[in-house]
Structure 1
C-alpha cells in the first residue's frame, strides 16, 4: 500500500485543480478522510482475521461497493458538508475509490478486492511501480524512505503536474479565443 500520507494526494490534487471555492474546506477534509478510511481494515490483524479473508486487509473496505457506501453517506450528510448531495457523493466516491486503485499499483500484498462481494478475487494493476509501504514500525527505515521517494515520483509529482496543467488550460480558456493573425 502507499503510505497513509500519499492516499491524501488524490483529494488534495483535485482540490488544487478545482476553481476556488468549488470544493469547500469541509468537503476537502471529508475527501482526505475518505481516501484514508479503507486502511482502517488493519484492525483485522489485531483481530487475527487472515489477510486474504474478505474482511482482512485490502478486502471489503477496498471495494467499489465500500466507496459507493461512503458516497451515499456523504450524500445523506451533504448539508453539514456545505455541498450539493450529488457533488458530495461523487467527490467521496472518487476519493474513497482512489485508495484501492493506488494500492493496486504497489509492488506487494495480495491485491485489492475491488469487486467484493460479487467476486472475492484480488486485483493488481498490470503496472506496479509504487513500492509497498512498510507498516508503522518500519516506516522510518531505509525502506520507508525509498517508499516515500517512490510515491513522490509516481503519485505526487504526476498528480500535481496534471493539476497545474489543468489550471493553466482553464486560465487560457477563460481569457476567450485569441485573434489569429
Structure 2
C-alpha cells in the first residue's frame, strides 16, 4: 500500500482541482479522508481475515463499487445537511478520491494487487507502472529507513505531480482573473 500521506495528498488535490473555490476546502479534507479510508480493512489482520479474501486487505474496500457507494452516501448526507450547488461534482470528487486509493496501491512494489472489481471478480490487479515503494502495514513498522524509503518514493511519484497540479491551477486561476479585469 502507499502511505496515508500519499493517499490523503492525492485526495485533497482531486478536491482542489474539481472544487477549486476556497470555500470548498472542507470538501478537500473530506476527499483526503475518503482517499485514506479503504485501508481501514487492515483491521482484518487482527481479526484473522485472510489477506486474499473478499474482506482482506486490498479486497472489497478497495473496489470501485465501494468507492461509488461511499461517494454517493456522503454526497447524499451533505445534501441533507446543506444543499450544495455542485452536488454531482462533489460526488465525483469523493468517488475519484476513494478510487484513487486503489490506483496508488496498484502502483506499489508489493502486496497482492487490488480487487478493483470486487465483489464480482476477486482478481487482484497491479498497473504496468509500479514505481511507488510499498509501505509497511502498521504504524510501528512505518519508521526509520522503511518510512524514509516510502516517503521519498511518494514525494517523487505523488507529491511532485500533486504540487504541479496545485501550482498549475493557481496559475490558471490567476490568469483567468487577470483576463476578466
Q: What TM-score do you get using the length of structure 2 for normalisation?
A: 0.88
* Aligned partner (choices 151, 154, 159) of residue 151 of structure 1: 154
Which residue of the partner structure matches residue 114 of structure 1? 116
5+ residue gaps, structure 1: none
What's the CA shift for 1:173?
3.8
Which residue of the partner structure matches residue 34 of structure 1? 34
Which structure's CA Rg is the greater one? Answer: 1
Coordinate RMSD, CA, aligned: 1.9
Q: How many residues align?
A: 176
Residues 1:92 and 2:94 aligned together: yes
Residues 1:4 and 2:4 aligned together: yes
Farther-moved stretch of structure 1 (78-87 vs 115-124): 78-87
Aligned pair in 2 of structure 1 residues 81, 110: CA closer, same or farther (>3 Å)?
farther
Structure 2 CA distance for aligned equivalents of residues 10 and 153 of structure 1: 13
What's the CA shift for 1:33?
1.5
Structure 1 CA distance for aligned equivalents of residues 82 and 56 of structure 2: 31
What's the CA shift for 1:22?
5.6
Aligned pair in 2 of structure 1 residues 16, 29: CA closer, same or farther (>3 Å)?
closer
Structure 2 CA distance for aligned equivalents of residues 3 and 107 of structure 1: 13
Structure 1 CA distance for aligned equivalents of residues 16 and 71 of structure 2: 21
Farther-moved stretch of structure 1 (29-38 vs 11-20): 11-20
Where 2:90 maps in the other structure, the secondary structure is: helix
5+ residue gaps, structure 2: none
Which residue of the partner structure matches residue 103 of structure 2? 101
Farther-moved stretch of structure 1 (158-167 vs 50-59): 158-167
Conserved 8 A contact 1:106-1:131 = yes
Which residue of the partner structure matches residue 139 of structure 1? 142
Structure 1 CA distance for aligned equivalents of residues 168 and 22 of structure 2: 19
